[in-house]
Amino acid sequence: MPRSRRAGPTSLLLGALILLLASGCAGSRPAISVTRIPGDPPPQSSFPISVDRPTVSTPTNAPAAIPVPIEQPAPPPAAAVANPPTNTVPQAPSTPPPTNWVRLDSWTARHPGVRPAIQAGSKILRIGGATSLLGFEPLPTQGTVLLHPLDVAKNLDPLLDSSPPWRRRSVVIDPGHGGVNAGTRIITGNRFEKEFTLDWARRLKPLLEAKGWTVTLTRTNDVDLSLPDRVRIAEASGAELFVSLHFNSAFPSQTAEGLETYCLTPTGMPSTLTRQYADDPSSRHPNNRFDAENVRLAWRIHRNLLAAVGMKDRGIRRARFMDVLRGQDRPAVLVEGGYLSNPGEARRIATPEYRQRLAVGVANAFD
């Protein structure tokens, strides 16, 4: 996963804390290895739902059918949604919520073909066979839940439009890391994220071209490329979409697993992932012009990837520190194709067969 700026010097104490707490693939500027940075979920042997830092514990089986329409009945809610831990369900608020919050039953009554699964006190949203993480915890109310208006506008309403978020079929595929910026190291050996992202991109390019897409790769060999350069390449190409490919790490935890897809946090909403960066909800970035298209693109890719590889669904998430996304003048997403810190996933990622399935999964989103 890319970081927006080079980490500054840290004390030994902070360094130890970072190693203890952080997760995610290595930054693109500082070289090699590390990998865990405050703000990510801490190492853990399972993924309990927590109010402050929701994680996804949905089944690993993928949705049965891919082409999208949300008008199809949604699959059964995830176990985590159906049976939330009792200690995360808040009591009815003692003061009335803001009047602009939206009743879920009213929203679904206006959109009868859509059946989102949402639980009070949990940011997990299940819709159309994939998980997304809300910006705000829904509030309990009589017979339904209340949703923050930004979640309705930025996470639910965009998915009512199942048409493709493109017109010309031109895309930039960005293999994360490269050169001295190796990304995270695989737990099972001495290979690095940069090799796997490049191979994923090389496999994806011909699949997209066969569907009539014009494809630009930000790098085609093992070179270091800054995040601003990746954005500049997208600018120069004139492509209408941008997809960055990465693999994840939660080292030293070896249990974190699954797929994540990121897009830029809409203005006014807190991010799912902040790492050590200040997350200013009032900030507005160039890519925020594409909030609706971002989540539509993320949802298509995430859902198709789940179907192609059958891994745990960790959800569509939001971050605003990623320069490679927020400076984009086009819809842009970042995909984490599994955990190199998880021995089981690492062994799969190390196989060409798995990377081909990752490529097919992304390509299927561009039909």
Binding pattern to Zn ion, positions 53-72, x when CB under 5 A? --------------------
Please report where in the chains the tokens 């339904």 appear, as a residue.
144
Contact predicate 260/23, CB 8 Å: no
Residue (30 or 69) nearer to Zn ion, CB:
30
Residue (246 or 275) nearer to Zn ion, CB:
246
How is residue 352 annotated by DSSP? H
Residue (165 or 176) nearer to Zn ion, CB:
176
Give least dist CB 245 to Zn ion, A.
8
Binding pattern to Zn ion, positions 179-218, x when CB under 5 A? ----x-----------------------------------
Give least dist CB 80 to Zn ion, A.
26
Question: What is the amino acid identity at position 288?
Answer: N
Classify 222 as helix, strand or coil. coil
Which of 18, 25, 68, 114 is close enough to bind Zn ion by CB under 5 A? 25
Q: Interacting stretch for Zn ion, rule CB under 5 A, among 21-29, 64-72, 167-175, 229-237?
A: 21-29
Q: What is the spatial distance between Cα 102 and Cα 218, in angstroms, rounded to a whole number?
A: 42
Q: Which of residues 167-186 bind Zn ion (CB under 5 A)?
A: 176, 183
Residue (1 or 362) nearer to Zn ion, CB:
1
Indicate the burial class of 342 (C-beta count within 10 angstroms; 0-12, 13-18, 19 or more). Answer: buried
Give how many residues touch Zn ion by CB under 5 A: 5
Q: Interacting stretch for Zn ion, rule CB under 5 A, among 17-25, 81-89, 111-119, 260-268?
A: 17-25
Tally Cβ neighbours within 10 Å of residue 161.
Answer: 12
Give least dist CB 13 to Zn ion, A.
26
Residue 299, CA atoms < 13 Å, CB-side half-sphere: 31
Q: What is the spatial distance between Cα 281 and Cα 320, in angstroms, rounded to a whole number?
A: 9
For 179, the token pair is 């050169």
Please report where in the chains the tokens 């017109």 appear, as a residue.
167
Give least dist CB 320 to Zn ion, A.
17
Contact predicate 222/178, CB 8 Å: yes
Which of 36, 126, 246, 302 is close enough to bind Zn ion by CB under 5 A? 246
Classify 364 as helix, strand or coil. helix
- The site for Zn ion (CB under 5 A) is made up of 1, 25, 176, 183, 246
